């Protein structure tokens, strides 16, 4: 990306933060909190998600057969199915069916994807969006900023101003009730007059040809009932095999999206329906000669089905959980975090599949891989992985024959023309090694004004960030110099390998020393062998080939220790998350599992030792000391926040945990020129909580390196890793 | 029917802002009349010996439908866990009657309260396979948050009342 592009991107984000950020933030927070509350009520949330995923896996696997089946079912019912190859094909059919008649629509992202309104209007039809948010956008001539609540970026005041200016009502509209009533009446007339009703479909059952529509306003019901011709537009992936298969989705979709146990209406239509319809005049007429057209759209989906990496995208039920749970999305909304049609975490997969990789490239970097969306997704899609894969593909675009020249000079597996910023952050481990070897010179250089300006210009590193200071004496050198572990292997209760991640070994050396002392205080004999870096840094830049190489090296370096009965203790949560997650994709199943099941986060390990009878006597007790603790995104996804809290609690610390899910830094993200302000905006929530009266005097601790770096820039007081807090020699 | 689904149903209805009125077949008319507003429309009820009072228009014009304050329909069954009623529509007009009036009154037999979504979908699947063209799982009134705050009563009813026939 050029300097100018970065600048433009930064300005665009700044603009959205100022204009739409607050509304999006407020609303997505309500959805997100609602999701936690509503899913907690389920007896077996995880089981339900497994069930939903299994149904989708089966559906996509058997898709051609199910398409065949649904065609038969709909035709038996008296309807028609049209299989459209792409948007143009679908629109040709839809406009032909509508025949220039007026159309009332309920909300459908698939119809946005094919831009059905534009082609219907071009054919002479009037098209009315009857979903209130879509209606607002139609009046404002804007694109959706959220896949479920498309006008989420607009406040009541803005909508009132828009309506008052556009419709000039006798009495100016003001309250949400007045605006709703006005829209209901206005659209009610359109519904009454229209002859064609268009809906999407959340699900379509292959066995009976039943459409399931998940709605709250009642407009979809009216659009179907009041018209003579019903056109339903759905991607082919919306099929499920049978009516019974709808059950887990019905229980999950509202909870996952807007945080409602269930929306007001789940309509199960097996068209053509026979509800009385509105004829000319004042009488209700018989509804038994309705026409029904199901337009099933491919538009790239069958190719996605063949793509081992993008296939999972087709399991998506468009609930919006990955948008609502995402800190970056919460702050900028879908106008930045979205492509031509779709927005939020999974949008990268959709845009790359149905539009183009270029559309995905526009916003793909806004996914920091924090993994907060992973547990939120009702069909357990590995959304960060899809983002990483697409990033990798973008990196490999435009390869030239001279790539090998650059490739020979770089320590990674990536193509020559890759973005320099990504290459810089992706090779952090090499940089750290060099940085320590040449410290303090390297730090002086990096800290000078000219160097900062150059780095901003060529690598897009924001000059307002301080780069990490490399330490001349690495953790491994220190450990060697002190003569290795103070607990001999024969006296030890357990043996552990402390994983020397690039940050702990070269930058955050003190937390590594503290970890050694804490482990020894609990009777553990420690080793710190040379182990490759985890590959987290290159992975986050979409450098999958390089990350995979790291995975093989790490496994080779650690396997023998595991065989010798040593536990692998990891300080940096994002590295542990690699072992537990992405390594599954890089290593043979058995190897990945062996590494995962023998690896522990440092405080999780301390917790386990204490639980199993180790004495915490030598650890530094809290004596009531107030602590403000910020966990780490990936640590939370792994369910490991509680262990740190429990250990600190047990040792007599008074712990307050952060309510914000993300600090905003996310590894290299916050360093990047184009994202610096967004990163600080996301971080401001954590800042206000830790500066509040009940937290202001507490000692700040955080588990992740980048969280610590962000806290350093947000707060005036210092922060540290929790293991440093309980370090016996603190 | 055990007492438990009713208790669960009642508290679920309460959470979604729906009033539950319990009555018997004999008392149905006298229970319903005070719940009706001036302009009431309805569809014939499928319960033996239970019928709508004369005040309820069962063959409304479009105008009457649009301006109705109350719409009375039967519900095929209810879901105790969610406080939902399943409106199965057809030529009698359950769909428009339950949708256009300001308030929807759903009449349900006590024996049709199903405990959860799982049992409901077993029933729904059976019904759909035997020809039920429309079934709406309706939970509470229609609602929207699209105008900057939560509003009850969007395109559909703003109030819902469930009348339960205990002896059915």
**What integer pLDDT is reported at residue A455 of this predicted model?**
79
DSSP output for A130-177: -SHHHHHHHHHT---SSSSSTTTT--HHHHHHHHHHHH--SS---SHH
Using a CB-CB distance cutoff of 8 angstroms, which residues of chain A are in contact with residue B140? 264
SS3 A472: coil
A511 compared with A399, residue with greater pLDDT: A511
- Calculate how close chain A gets to B152, using CA atoms only, in Å: 8
Which candidate from B66, B82, B95 shows the least CB-CB separation from A275?
B95
**What integer pLDDT is reported at residue B3 of this predicted model?**
55
Please state, rounded to an integer, the average pLDDT across all residues of chain B: 93
Tell whether omega for the bond before A559 is within 30 degrees of 0, i.e. cis. no
- Calculate how close chain B gets to A380, using CA atoms only, in Å: 21
**What integer pLDDT is reported at residue A730 of this predicted model?**
73
Tell whether omega for the bond before A440 is within 30 degrees of 0, i.e. cis. yes
Nearest CA among B156, B35, B166 for reference residue B87: B156
What domains can you pick out in chain B, each with its CATH number?
3-165 (3.40.50.10420)
Contact B148 A157 (CB under 8 A): yes
The alpha carbon of A249 is separated from its chain's Cα centroid by a whole number of angstroms, namely 20
- Within chain A, all domains assigned CATH 3.40.50.10420 are found at 50-301
For residue B141 the two structure tokens come to: 């009134």
Q: How far apart are the first and last CA of chain B?
A: 10
Q: How far is residue A210's CA from residue A240's CA, in Å, rounded to a whole number?
A: 10
Which candidate from A242, A263, A270 shows the least CB-CB separation from B133?
A270
**What integer pLDDT is reported at residue B4 of this predicted model?**
77
All residues at 6 or more sequence positions from A725 whose CB lies less than 8 Å from its CB, including other chains: A620, A622, A627, A648, A653, A699, A701
Q: What are phi and psi of B122, to 5 degrees?
A: -65, -45
Model pLDDT for residues A374-416, shown as the tens digit of each residue: 999 999 999 999 999 999 999 888 666 556 556 666 778 888 7
**What integer pLDDT is reported at residue A461 of this predicted model?**
86
Contact A218 B147 (CB under 8 A): no
Total length of chain B: 168
Contact A221 B156 (CB under 8 A): yes
Distances (CA, A) of A113 to A197, A292, A509, B26: 18, 21, 51, 55
pLDDT over 90, % of chain A:
85
Contact B146 A133 (CB under 8 A): yes
Q: How far is residue B52's CA from residue B40's CA, in Å, rounded to a whole number?
A: 11
Distances (CA, A) of B88 to A152, A204, B32, B97, B136: 33, 18, 21, 12, 6
pLDDT for residue A452 is more than 60? yes
**What integer pLDDT is reported at residue A427 of this predicted model?**
83
| Tokens 């003190």 sit on residue | A510
**What integer pLDDT is reported at residue B1 of this predicted model?**
43
A31 near A320, Cβ under 8 Å?
A: yes
pLDDT for residue A681 is more than 90? yes
**What integer pLDDT is reported at residue A674 of this predicted model?**
92
Contact A247 B121 (CB under 8 A): yes
Task: Give the pLDDT mean for A625-635.
Answer: 95
**What integer pLDDT is reported at residue B116 of this predicted model?**
96
Contact B82 A262 (CB under 8 A): yes
ipTM rounded to 2 decimals: 0.97
User: Rounded to the nearest 10 degrees, how much is the dihedral formed by the CA atoms of B144, B148, B150, B156?
Assistant: -30
Contact B154 A154 (CB under 8 A): no
Task: Give the pLDDT mean for A122-127.
Answer: 96
Residues 126-165 (A) with a CB less than 8 A from some CB of B: 130-133, 136, 149, 151, 154-157, 159-160
Strand ordering across the sheet containing A719-720: A654-657, A626-630, A699-702, A719-720
Q: How far is residue A433's CA from residue A439's CA, in Å, rounded to a whole number?
A: 10
Model pLDDT for residues B3-53, shown as the tens digit of each residue: 578 999 999 999 999 999 999 999 999 999 999 988 999 999 999 899 999
Residues 171-230 (A) with a CB less than 8 A from some CB of B: 175-177, 179-180, 183-184, 187-188, 192, 207-208, 210, 216-219, 221-222, 225
Model pLDDT for residues A553-567, shown as the tens digit of each residue: 999 999 999 999 999
All residues at 6 or more sequence positions from A592 whose CB lies less than 8 Å from its CB, including other chains: A579, A583, A584, A586
Q: Where does the pLDDT of residue A594 fall: very low under 50, low under 70, confident under 90, or very high at 90 and above?
A: very high
Q: How far is residue A372's CA from residue A660's CA, in Å, rounded to a whole number?
A: 12
Q: How far is residue A345's CA from residue A325's CA, in Å, rounded to a whole number?
A: 9
Q: Where does the pLDDT of residue B76 fall: very low under 50, low under 70, confident under 90, or very high at 90 and above?
A: very high
Pick the residue from chain B with its C-alpha nearest to A192. Answer: B62
A235 compared with A448, residue with greater pLDDT: A235
Q: How far is residue A317's CA from residue A203's CA, in Å, rounded to a whole number?
A: 8
Cβ neighbour number for residue A480 with a 10 Å cutoff: 11
**What integer pLDDT is reported at residue A402 of this predicted model?**
58
Residues 17-46 (B) with a CB less than 8 A from some CB of A: none
B98 near B57, Cβ under 8 Å?
A: no
Q: What are phi and psi of B91, to 5 degrees?
A: -60, -25
Q: How far apart are the first and last CA of chain A?
A: 45
Contact A225 B96 (CB under 8 A): yes
Task: Give the pLDDT mean for A481-508.
Answer: 95
Burial class (CB in 10 A: 0-12, 13-18, 19+), A714: buried
Q: Where does the pLDDT of residue A258 fall: very low under 50, low under 70, confident under 90, or very high at 90 and above?
A: very high
Q: Where does the pLDDT of residue B94 fall: very low under 50, low under 70, confident under 90, or very high at 90 and above?
A: very high
Which candidate from A184, A251, A282 shows the least CB-CB separation from B154?
A184
User: Computed from CA positions of residues A307, A311, A313, A314, in that sequence, does the dihedral angle turn out positive or negative?
Assistant: positive
Contact B146 A136 (CB under 8 A): yes
Fold observed for domain A50-301: Rossmann fold (3.40.50)
Model pLDDT for residues A340-365, shown as the tens digit of each residue: 999 999 999 999 999 999 999 999 99
Contact A274 B90 (CB under 8 A): yes
- Calculate how close chain B gets to A200, using CA atoms only, in Å: 16
Distances (CA, A) of A497 to A400, A433, A612, A727: 43, 20, 19, 18
Using a CB-CB distance cutoff of 8 angstroms, which residues of chain B are in contact with residue A266? 136-137
DSSP H helices, A612-660, are: 633-637, 641-650
SS3 per residue for A317-372: CCCCHHHHCCHHHHHHCCCCCECCCCECCCHHHHHHHHHCHHHHHCCHHHCCCCCC
B115 near B121, Cβ under 8 Å?
A: no
Does B153 lie at the interface with A, CB-CB under 8 angstroms?
yes
Contact B134 A273 (CB under 8 A): yes
Residues 62-81 (B) with a CB less than 8 A from some CB of A: 62-63, 65-66
| Tokens 């979604």 sit on residue | B16
A211 near A218, Cβ under 8 Å?
A: no
**What integer pLDDT is reported at residue A2 of this predicted model?**
82
Pick the residue from chain A with its C-alpha nearest to B131. Answer: A270
Q: How far is residue A160's CA from residue A178's CA, in Å, rounded to a whole number?
A: 9
Distances (CA, A) of A166 to A136, A137, A163, A244, A298: 11, 12, 5, 46, 37
Which candidate from A130, A154, A177 shows the least CB-CB separation from B155?
A130
SS3 per residue for A627-639: EEEECCHHHHHCC
Using a CB-CB distance cutoff of 8 angstroms, which residues of chain B are in contact with residue A271? 133
Model pLDDT for residues A318-327, shown as the tens digit of each residue: 999 999 999 9
Please state, rounded to an integer, the average pLDDT across all residues of chain A: 94
A224 near A292, Cβ under 8 Å?
A: no
Which candidate from A221, A273, A274 shows the least CB-CB separation from B99?
A221
- Calculate how close chain B gets to A31, using CA atoms only, in Å: 11
B102 near A233, Cβ under 8 Å?
A: no
pTM: 0.94
Pick the residue from chain A with its C-alpha nearest to B96. Answer: A225
Number of residue pairs across A and B with CB atoms under 8 Å? 173
- Calculate how close chain B gets to A140, using CA atoms only, in Å: 14
Q: What are phi and psi of A472, to 5 degrees?
A: -60, -45
Cβ neighbour number for residue A523 with a 10 Å cutoff: 15
SS3 A542: coil
Model pLDDT for residues A186-207, shown as the tens digit of each residue: 999 999 999 999 999 999 999 9
Which candidate from B61, B84, B95 shows the least CB-CB separation from A282?
B61
Contact A251 B117 (CB under 8 A): yes
Which candidate from A159, A176, A282 shows the least CB-CB separation from B62?
A282
């Amino acid at each position: 990306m050029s300097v100018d592009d970065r600048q433009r991107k930064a300005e665009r984000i700044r603009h959205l933060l100022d204009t739409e950020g607050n509304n999006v933030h407020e609303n997505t927070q309500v959805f997100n909190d609602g999701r936690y509350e509503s899913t907690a009520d389920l007896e077996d949330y995880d089981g339900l998600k497994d069930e939903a995923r299994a149904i989708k896996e089966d559906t996509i696997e058997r898709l051609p057969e199910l398409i065949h089946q649904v065609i038969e079912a709909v035709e038996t019912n008296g309807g028609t199915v049209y299989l459209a190859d792409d948007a143009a094909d679908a629109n040709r059919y839809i406009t032909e069916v509508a025949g220039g008649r007026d159309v009332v629509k309920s909300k459908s992202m698939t119809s946005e994807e094919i831009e059905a309104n534009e082609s219907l209007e071009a054919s002479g039809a009037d098209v009315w969006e009857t979903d209130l948010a879509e209606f607002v956008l139609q009046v404002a001539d804007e694109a959706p900023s959220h896949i479920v609540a498309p006008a989420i970026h607009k406040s009541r005041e803005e909508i009132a101003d828009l309506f008052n200016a556009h419709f000039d009502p006798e009495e100016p509209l003001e309250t949400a009730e007045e605006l709703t009533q006005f829209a209901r009446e206005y659209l009610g007339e359109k519904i009454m007059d229209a002859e064609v009703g268009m809906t999407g479909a959340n699900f379509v059952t292959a066995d009976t040809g039943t459409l399931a529509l998940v709605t709250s306003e009642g407009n979809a019901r009216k659009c179907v009932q009041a018209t003579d011709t019903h056109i339903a537009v759905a991607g082919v992936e919306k099929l499920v095999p049978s009516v019974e298969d709808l059950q887990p989705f019905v229980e999950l979709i509202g909870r996952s999206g807007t945080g409602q146990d269930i929306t007001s209406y789940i309509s199960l239509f097996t068209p053509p329906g026979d509800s009385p319809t509105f004829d000319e005049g004042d009488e209700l007429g018989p509804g038994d000669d309705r026409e029904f057209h199901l337009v099933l759209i491919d538009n790239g989906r069958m190719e996605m089905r063949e793509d081992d990496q993008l296939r999972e995208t087709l399991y998506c039920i468009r609930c919006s959980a990955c948008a609502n749970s995402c800190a970056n999305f919460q702050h900028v909304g879908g106008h930045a975090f979205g492509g031509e049609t779709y927005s939020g975490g999974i949008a990268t997969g959709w845009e790359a599949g149905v539009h183009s990789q270029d559309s995905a490239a526009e916003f793909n970097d806004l996914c920091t891989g924090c993994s907060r969306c992973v547990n939120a997704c009702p069909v357990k899609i590995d959304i960060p992985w899809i983002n990483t894969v697409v990033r990798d593909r973008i990196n490999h675009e435009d390869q030239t024959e001279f790539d090998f020249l650059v490739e020979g000079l770089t320590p990674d597996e990536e193509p020559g023309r890759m973005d320099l910023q990504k290459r810089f952050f992706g090779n952090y481990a090499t940089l750290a090694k060099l940085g320590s070897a040449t410290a303090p010179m390297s730090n002086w250089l990096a800290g000078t004004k000219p160097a900062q300006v150059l780095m901003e210009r060529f690598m897009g590193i924001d000059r307002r960030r301080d780069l990490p200071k490399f330490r001349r004496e690495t953790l491994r050198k220190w450990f060697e110099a002190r003569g290795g572990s103070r607990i001999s292997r024969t006296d030890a209760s357990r043996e552990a390998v402390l994983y020397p991640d690039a940050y702990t070994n070269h930058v955050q050396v003190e937390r590594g020393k503290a970890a050694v002392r804490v482990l020894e205080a609990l009777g553990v004999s420690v080793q710190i062998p040379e182990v490759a870096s985890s590959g987290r840094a290159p992975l986050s830049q979409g450098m999958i080939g390089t990350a995979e190489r790291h995975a093989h090296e790490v496994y080779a370096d650690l396997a023998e220790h595991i065989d010798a009965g040593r536990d692998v203790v990891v300080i940096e949560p994002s590295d542990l998350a690699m072992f537990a997650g992405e390594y599954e994709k890089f290593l043979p199943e058995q190897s990945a599992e062996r590494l995962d099941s023998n690896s522990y986060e440092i405080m999780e390990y301390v917790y386990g030792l204490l639980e199993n009878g180790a004495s915490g006597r030598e650890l530094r007790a809290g004596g009531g000391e107030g602590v403000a603790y910020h966990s780490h995104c990936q640590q939370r996804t792994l369910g490991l926040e509680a262990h740190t809290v429990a250990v600190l609690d047990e040792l007599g610390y008074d712990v307050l945990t952060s309510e914000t899910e993300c600090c905003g830094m996310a590894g290299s993200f916050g360093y990047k020129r184009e994202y610096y302000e967004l990163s600080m905006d996301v971080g401001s929530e954590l800042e206000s909580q830790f500066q509040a009266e009940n937290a202001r005097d507490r000692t700040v601790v955080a588990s992740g390196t980048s969280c610590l770096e962000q806290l350093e820039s947000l707060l005036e007081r210092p922060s540290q890793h929790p293991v440093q807090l309980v370090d016996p020699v603190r | 029917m055990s007492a438990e689904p009713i208790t669960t149903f009642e508290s679920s209805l309460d959470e979604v802002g729906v009033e539950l009125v319990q009555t018997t077949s004999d008392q149905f008319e006298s229970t319903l009349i005070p719940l009706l507003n001036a302009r009431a429309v309805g569809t014939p009820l499928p319960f033996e010996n239970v019928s709508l009072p004369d005040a309820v228009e069962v063959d409304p014009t479009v105008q009457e439908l649009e301006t109705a304050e109350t719409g009375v329909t039967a519900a095929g069954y209810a879901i105790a866990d969610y406080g939902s009623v399943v409106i199965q529509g057809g030529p009698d007009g359950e769909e428009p009657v339950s949708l256009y009036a300001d308030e929807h009154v759903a009449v349900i037999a006590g024996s049709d309260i199903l405990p959860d979504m799982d049992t409901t979908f077993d029933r729904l699947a059976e019904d759909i396979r035997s020809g039920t063209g429309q079934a709406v799982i309706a939970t509470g009134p229609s609602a929207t948050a699209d105008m900057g705050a939560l509003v009850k009563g969007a395109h559909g009813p703003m109030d819902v009342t469930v009348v339960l026939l205990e002896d059915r």
